[in-house]
Amino acid sequence: MVEVRLAPVALSEKAELRRLLDPYLIAHADIVDPRRRHGDPTDYPHFDAYWTQAERRPFWILADEVRVGFVLVNRYSPSGLGCDAAVAEFCVLPPWRRAGVGLASARAVFATTPGLWELQVYDATAPALAFWPRAIAAAGGREVTEASLGARRVHRFRVG
């Protein structure tokens, strides 16, 4: 069995994270905004703030100590109702998908902050629509709600 854990992304590793983030953002936009109505998907104005603001935290996903993805956590509430923490970006690299790494890393992320979490999923991303309810349940999520907001679904739940 693969051992999965999170590790903070150090400031010295910021460029490496950016090299993984940009293709992830482009692939996501190819699905949810193929005509680029919302502009350049790699325009990520709060990226640098992940190393200067306490409510923003970047993590590597490690599987057997190999970097296999990343998670960006912040406090942005997609519902507008407020939350203690939110998953902003979540990426498990393709070779590591469907091996339990995603579920294990989601559990690890939610364990970083007890309380009310939010995350949003675009309707066009079928794998994510199937994944997140399973991940929330596996992490012991309770008081789970899901709301449709246009082309997105917002999950709210408590952990810890």
Domain ranges of the chain: 4-159
The 10s digit of each residue's pLDDT in 131-158 is 999 999 999 999 999 999 999 999 999 9
Q: DSSP states of 111-126 as a string? A: HTS-EEEEEEEETT-H
Share of the chain above pLDDT 70, in %: 100
Q: DSSP states of 126-143 as a string? A: HHHHHHHHHHHHHTT-EE
Q: How many residues does the chain have?
A: 160
So what's the pLDDT on residue 42?
87
The 10s digit of each residue's pLDDT in 30-58 is 988 888 888 888 899 999 999 999 999 99
Q: What mean pLDDT is predicted for residues 6-22?
A: 98
So what's the pLDDT on residue 33?
83
Residue 74 has pLDDT above 80, yes or no: yes
Query: How confident is the prediction for the chain on average, in pLDDT?
Result: 95
CATH node for 4-159: 3.40.630.30
> Tokens standing for 124?
């066009």
If one counts every other C-beta atom within 10 angstroms of the C-beta of residue 149, the result is 11
Whole-structure pTM value:
0.94
So what's the pLDDT on residue 111?
97
Residues 122 and 133: beta-carbon distance below 8 Å = no
CA trace torsion 138, 154, 74, 59 (10° rounding): 40
Q: What is the C-alpha to C-alpha distance for residues 65 and 81, in angstroms, rounded to an integer?
A: 37
CA trace torsion 129, 27, 77, 84 (10° rounding): 80
So what's the pLDDT on residue 21?
97
So what's the pLDDT on residue 37?
86
Residue 1 has pLDDT above 80, yes or no: no
The Cα diameter of the chain in Å comes to: 43
Among 96, 105, 153, which residue's Cα sits nearest to residue 5? Answer: 105
